[in-house]
Amino acid sequence: MSSTPAPSQDTLDKLRAVGTATVSMQLLKRGLRHVSVNGVKPLRPDQGCVVGPAYTLRFLPLREDLSDPAVLGAPGYGPRVAIETCPEGAILVVEARGIATTGTIGDILTARLAKRGVAGMVVDGAVRDGAGVSATGFDVWCLGAAPPASITQLSGGDVEIPVACGDVTVFPGDVIVCDGDGAVVIPAKLAAEVAEDSVEQDRFERWVQARVEEGRATIGLYPPNAETKAEYEAWKTSGGQ
Amino acid sequence: MSSTPAPSQDTLDKLRAVGTATVSMQLLKRGLRHVSVNGVKPLRPDQGCVVGPAYTLRFLPLREDLSDPAVLGAPGYGPRVAIETCPEGAILVVEARGIATTGTIGDILTARLAKRGVAGMVVDGAVRDGAGVSATGFDVWCLGAAPPASITQLSGGDVEIPVACGDVTVFPGDVIVCDGDGAVVIPAKLAAEVAEDSVEQDRFERWVQARVEEGRATIGLYPPNAETKAEYEAWKTSGGQ
Amino acid sequence: MSSTPAPSQDTLDKLRAVGTATVSMQLLKRGLRHVSVNGVKPLRPDQGCVVGPAYTLRFLPLREDLSDPAVLGAPGYGPRVAIETCPEGAILVVEARGIATTGTIGDILTARLAKRGVAGMVVDGAVRDGAGVSATGFDVWCLGAAPPASITQLSGGDVEIPVACGDVTVFPGDVIVCDGDGAVVIPAKLAAEVAEDSVEQDRFERWVQARVEEGRATIGLYPPNAETKAEYEAWKTSGGQ
Amino acid sequence: MSSTPAPSQDTLDKLRAVGTATVSMQLLKRGLRHVSVNGVKPLRPDQGCVVGPAYTLRFLPLREDLSDPAVLGAPGYGPRVAIETCPEGAILVVEARGIATTGTIGDILTARLAKRGVAGMVVDGAVRDGAGVSATGFDVWCLGAAPPASITQLSGGDVEIPVACGDVTVFPGDVIVCDGDGAVVIPAKLAAEVAEDSVEQDRFERWVQARVEEGRATIGLYPPNAETKAEYEAWKTSGGQ
Amino acid sequence: MSSTPAPSQDTLDKLRAVGTATVSMQLLKRGLRHVSVNGVKPLRPDQGCVVGPAYTLRFLPLREDLSDPAVLGAPGYGPRVAIETCPEGAILVVEARGIATTGTIGDILTARLAKRGVAGMVVDGAVRDGAGVSATGFDVWCLGAAPPASITQLSGGDVEIPVACGDVTVFPGDVIVCDGDGAVVIPAKLAAEVAEDSVEQDRFERWVQARVEEGRATIGLYPPNAETKAEYEAWKTSGGQ
Amino acid sequence: MSSTPAPSQDTLDKLRAVGTATVSMQLLKRGLRHVSVNGVKPLRPDQGCVVGPAYTLRFLPLREDLSDPAVLGAPGYGPRVAIETCPEGAILVVEARGIATTGTIGDILTARLAKRGVAGMVVDGAVRDGAGVSATGFDVWCLGAAPPASITQLSGGDVEIPVACGDVTVFPGDVIVCDGDGAVVIPAKLAAEVAEDSVEQDRFERWVQARVEEGRATIGLYPPNAETKAEYEAWKTSGGQ
């Protein structure tokens, strides 16, 4: 678990305003290439941008002695514990081994997560009963939907340990940013500065987009050469937003 | 070919009412983990739940001496025979080797299947001219659409033999259940009992969902502990549906 | 670069009218099985059929010494040069190594391509900010959207060389046909004759489809036996279109 | 099953003398690109070149109701029937779905095949107890060795039907050629002519190799231009072998 | 960590005498299909059969902020801690995410493990400097050798937690059996009974092999019918070993 | 092509003395994680360490109009030109698209390369007639051997352009280091300093290995803490090699 304090509301708001593409570039500038969760997409097209600290859950490879249906009711079974302990506002990040052919969670459990105020879920696996899950209004980033229950191909593991989700390492408390393109992980200690710089990058790119719409060529404009930089700074000085 | 009698209309209706997630759990309870056809999705979003006995067709790997365009008109060529022999109400289950980059069937042949009253098609491959196929109104579960004809990457094989579709074995006469999540295969001899138990499971889960909407925690509720079971039985006794 | 003259407007129009399934069959009849770009799909559902000569761009595997963010502004950097040099009416065909987890281009650059009159883009990779790209109205066939910038997993290569896109070889000047099913490559020297024969194939298949709608069986009809051929020729002679 | 007569001893001897690389080129010249069994290698390094007609066996995907250990003793269970019915001198060609992590056969059954005079086995799967199998002296081309029994990941299917082995279609009676590089399938009706032409190709390449050893450049030599062809013909006329 | 007592020397000796194929069948008879570590092979051909309780180490996906070369010397860095804490006689089981293109350990660390009396290592990844590792005489089951250091593609995780190795779940204390075919995991609580039954299975199979060598057919012999069982029991009664 | 001067003999000798593991670590210290050619292994076990500047050749995906057997004799056909133009002492680096099921070169062409003094070949593909290639004594790093000729699955491309080999970018003139673990690419401009630092790293690791053999624990030793560093420096000062 990270010892970094939870991200401020201001940081979360800034990240929600910019989205994954901008955040991803800020992380690349800091040398981080492995922060985008491979393969996950919004289950519903209208999920928008969701941001929050990670609460983690691990699944293990199927071992039949650990995946009898009776296990679902066993005290302390991780995947069921997580449903009741994931905090309000957090994003449940689930390691499901990239298996798109088994559901990890269905409409009853997502209804409960929504009820409890959990912000969303990112899983490198599938959901069950995709239509039912969508109907709960809970926001899920996943590999799609598949009929079988989790224990058909997976065995339950622990909560709040580091997980590998979509080939990316996520620690409890890291900040997750999700939108139409997928989900990106910001190491907890970098969240505030990445949010700050992302807002500025986003402002610059909106200015560039307006220039392109005016017919400007992109060479020298994006990325900007010295002249373009000066022009942009002048625009900012003159109050451009 | 199964020696089990064809599924009754009652069995088919019950399965259609519950869908793949519930059926999949009933099969898991009977020790069957490999019954969900990997990767197939409804071609049109509004296909609903389709159920029927399997009629099978196999494709083989491409061998150029077996895949000259002239073969499409040869008497007894399996993939064309199937179009005219698959029974009304059946589901045509096609082994296409998981190849998503070659179409197996296009709008003309799906129009004919629809005309003949075939219930639907499940193929671990693609269709050609996805828009055209969709326009025929025929229900297809597949890996998507791709331009090339089947003989570009496949050679035709036999009908009504056991097939491997989406990494699942399907015998002629097995019962297929398809919905928004994918397609599940029920061995013919289990179809009636799985239908029966699925209806009861579905009733219980609807009762649970209502409790979650009231704010109940899921531990002890789902799966149910002794107290929950008693409460549910009381509800049923009092006429709950 | 092909020494074949650019395709005529008539050829482009004919290809646009028939789409990828028909073109793919004509190429198969000429012994070409490897002409469909694996995996690419229209980014927006309403992109229709787009046709044009290929202008090519290659990405190479990531090598960190070639993918510092500063490289994006370097003179002669291929992926940025291509944005300003790809001709009006051409299709930008990009080799992105089948990597679906890194964007290759975002909304600013696609806005510029649209502004310059480029017909569309085919890339065996992802775009960044899928919603932003869609909003520019530029037509893209790709593997989807992903947050990271190209240099996160790729390094820039040259323009106007032969490329491997979706496991298909594309030379500058080859003719690209894209629609809802994907994208197909026609070697430049075959474009005119493929267009011609595709139009006739398309007419025949529309006639067949009408027969199927009337309830005719497909054996002997599609492909046609001698009797069916005579019937079709009579229909044509009598002015059928 | 092919209606072509079994290959003559002379054909088998010629094929054994030339090996898979030469046979593969002869098949390519006849338009056949999909005839090399993907991935299989000799289990023992000293297996040499083995040739014979195919006797086929299919495995299906695991379905637990078909793969209880009791099934191994059921009458008519294909994988056990094949051990006693595969003819002397034949090659047992097994479809094992490219699964390298489950053995399909172990030392007891290969000992029996050796005892019965079966020429060898090609399987796109693994063997169990690789050391034990090697000790029987039976020649196997496979994906390696793995501990689990076949029914751990597969279910038994039929014998003497067309099979897909290493992504290649094999019909009973097709001629199989195996050596250090892998295994190649010759459609039954082409075996005699391919054997004939392979012997001549092999003689030419041995002559070329001798020229390269003398220091000749390969351009114009291999493939030969008119001058080289004349020189080779003169050598043959003068009795070169 | 398992609460089962460590396996007795007698159990370990029995398992070492029978090997992975027999153990795998005993586990299948108990309903366990997912116990064979996918893909691992002995690094040296002469490693024989190695058995011991598991001591576990996890690697996580590469995250550049966790994989600077300086991390290798950080106190508590898991992959280095494991080298000094893995007990004598244990097998170090390492989750390396199936990545065959990065080494996880080289000759210096394997020399130290050998010096400390660790029985062996199973890793679903590669070693570095395969020749150097082989020279230390330490027994490794792995995916081969590759030049890069672990931190090139992985980040270090914890020791003595459940791990996923070769798609199999391993808990600390489970019993690992390795030989020429690969590695198999026995859940700790089953080790004694599996060892017992494996010895009897092995005796029966040696008796069968002798019958096959005498020319007996395998139907009815293997698996045995009632008559064969009686014959075998008589042989045992008469002192057969 | 690199504008860096060719590597000196001293640089090549140093690299040959240390091998790929050490070179790979030196490149990682410079931020380069993508420099090890995925999957290639020495064809013969006794190939030792081979070092040289890269001469490159590209194959493209198969397009049947470019891969008729007649093309092998066409003037300027890249794959044949390369055999006669690759310089003495260079390593021929071939992009073969990671296809292990088609040979790229056989015994005649490798015999010619050996005759011309080419140092070796690295190809992310297979060779044909593995035994014949081995017999020529030419050193090849590849994915193994397979029967079919290159044009069965590939089309010929250009020489001396940047290539993607085993998911690594190689420019003509980059320095290639090959040994039992695989092959590593050093960007031309870094070759001299990497060679220098590798020699020192190798000396330190040999000193560490000797300490481990004496029974020293690895924590604090490897990587070295301040005390260990001082001890090593003292050893060097006292003449240790």
pLDDT single digits (tens) D171-218: 999 999 999 999 999 999 999 999 999 999 999 999 999 999 999 999
**Domain spanning B9-189, CATH architecture:** 3-Layer(bba) Sandwich (3.50)
Contact status, residue B181 vs residue A145, Cβ threshold 8 Å: yes
Of B112, B130, B131, the CB nearest to C218: B112
Which pLDDT value is given to residue B1?
46
Which pLDDT value is given to residue C4?
83
The domain C9-187 is placed in CATH, from the list 3.40.1710.10, 3.40.50.300, 3.40.50.2020, 3.50.30.40, at 3.50.30.40
The 10s digit of each residue's pLDDT in F54-85 is 999 999 999 999 999 999 999 899 999 999 99
Residues of chain B in contact with residue C181, where contact means CB-CB under 8 angstroms, are: 103, 128-130, 145-147
Closest CA to B138 of B170, B109, B103: B109
The whole-angstrom separation of Cα D17 and Cα C89 is 57
Mean pLDDT calculated for residue range D77-92: 98
pLDDT band at C75 (very low <50, low <70, confident <90, very high): confident
Q: Which residue(s) pair with D183 in the sheet?
A: D178
Which pLDDT value is given to residue A1?
46
- The CB density around residue E196, as the number of other CB atoms within 10 Å, is 14
The whole-angstrom separation of Cα F116 and Cα A86 is 68
D161 contacts: CB under 8 Å, gap ≥ 6: B158, B161, D56, D58, D172
The 10s digit of each residue's pLDDT in D125-164 is 999 999 999 999 999 999 999 999 999 999 999 999 999 9
pLDDT band at B157 (very low <50, low <70, confident <90, very high): very high
Among chain A residues, CA nearest to C73: A223
Tokens of B73: 């008109």
Ranges A65-74, A96-105, F152-161: which has the least confidence:
A65-74
Amino acid found at B144? G
Mean pLDDT calculated for residue range A19-45: 98
Mean pLDDT by 10 residues, chain E (241 residues): 82 98 98 98 97 98 96 94 98 98 97 98 98 98 98 98 98 98 98 98 97 97 96 94 80
Mean pLDDT calculated for residue range F190-202: 98
Which pLDDT value is given to residue D5?
87
Which pLDDT value is given to residue E240?
83
Mean pLDDT calculated for residue range C25-47: 97
Contact status, residue D55 vs residue D91, Cβ threshold 8 Å: yes
The whole-angstrom separation of Cα A2 and Cα E66 is 13
Residues of chain E in contact with residue F215, where contact means CB-CB under 8 angstroms, are: 115
CATH 3.50.30.40 placement within chain F:
9-188
- From E142's Cα to the closest Cα of chain D, the distance in A is 14
* pLDDT above 90: percentage of residues in chain A: 96
The DSSP-derived string for chain F is ---SPPPPHHHHHHHHHH-HHHHHHHHHHTT----B-TT-EESSTT---EEEEEEEEEEEE--GGG--GGGGGSTT-HHHHHHHHSPTT-EEEEEEEEEEEEES--HHHHHHHHHTT--EEEEEEEBSSHHHHHHTT--EEES-B-SS-GGGTEEEEEESS-EEETTEEE-TT-EEEEETTEEEEE-GGGHHHHHHHHHHHHHHHHHHHHHHHTT--STTBTTB-HHHHHHHHHHHHTT--
Mean pLDDT calculated for residue range C3-16: 93
Which pLDDT value is given to residue A32?
98
Contact status, residue A89 vs residue A109, Cβ threshold 8 Å: no
Which pLDDT value is given to residue F156?
97
Chains within contact range of chain C (3+ C-beta pairs < 8 Å): A, B, F
Chain E: which residues have CB within 8 Å of chain A? 31-35, 60-66, 97, 155, 157-158, 161-162, 164, 167-169, 187
Interchain CB contacts (distance < 8 Å): D and F: 84
- From B141's Cα to the closest Cα of chain A, the distance in A is 13
Q: What is the mean pLDDT of chain B?
A: 97
Residues of chain E in contact with residue A161, where contact means CB-CB under 8 angstroms, are: 158, 161
Q: Where are the beta strands (DSSP E) in chain C?
A: 41-42, 50-61, 91-95, 120-123, 140-142, 154-159, 163-165, 168-170, 175-179, 182-186
Cβ of F101 within 8 Å of Cβ of D36? The answer is: yes
pLDDT band at C167 (very low <50, low <70, confident <90, very high): very high
Closest CA to D107 of E212, E178, E23: E212
Of D32, D60, D65, the CB nearest to B164: D60
In angstroms, the first-to-last Cα distance of chain B is 38
Cβ of A148 within 8 Å of Cβ of B36? The answer is: yes
Cβ of B60 within 8 Å of Cβ of D162? The answer is: yes
Tokens of F37: 């050619």
Q: Collapse the DSSP code of E67 into the 3-class scheme (helix H, G, I; strand E, B; otherwise coil) and give the result.
A: coil
CATH 3.50.30.40 placement within chain A:
9-187
The class level of CATH for E9-188 reads alpha beta
Closest CA to E60 of E124, E155, E150: E155
Q: Collapse the DSSP code of E187 into the 3-class scheme (helix H, G, I; strand E, B; otherwise coil) and give the result.
A: coil
What phi, psi does E176 have (nearest 5°)? -105, 135
The whole-angstrom separation of Cα E122 and Cα E106 is 14
A90 contacts: CB under 8 Å, gap ≥ 6: A52, A53, A54, A55, A118, A119
pLDDT band at B5 (very low <50, low <70, confident <90, very high): confident
Tokens of C124: 């065996």
The DSSP-derived string for chain A is ---SPPPPHHHHHHHHHH-HHHHHHHHHHTT----B-TT-EESSTT---EEEEEEEEEEEE--GGG--GGGGGSTT-HHHHHHHHSPTT-EEEEE-TT-TTSBS--HHHHHHHHHTT--EEEESSBBSSHHHHHHTT--EEES-B-SS-GGGTEEEEEESS-EEETTEEE-TT-EEEEETTEEEEE-GGGHHHHHHHHHHHHHHHHHHHHHHHTT--STTTTTT-HHHHHHHHHHHHTT--
Of C69, C131, C148, the CB nearest to A180: C131
- The CB density around residue A233, as the number of other CB atoms within 10 Å, is 12
Closest CA to A164 of A34, A72, A65: A34
Mean pLDDT calculated for residue range D10-21: 98
pLDDT band at D1 (very low <50, low <70, confident <90, very high): very low
- Residue E122 CA to its chain's centroid (Å): 6
- From E77's Cα to the closest Cα of chain F, the distance in A is 10
Tokens of D232: 């080779």
Cβ of E164 within 8 Å of Cβ of A61? The answer is: yes
Of C80, C106, C128, the CB nearest to A219: C80
Element spanning D140, H or E: strand D140-142
Of E21, E38, E41, the CB nearest to D106: E21
In angstroms, the first-to-last Cα distance of chain D is 38
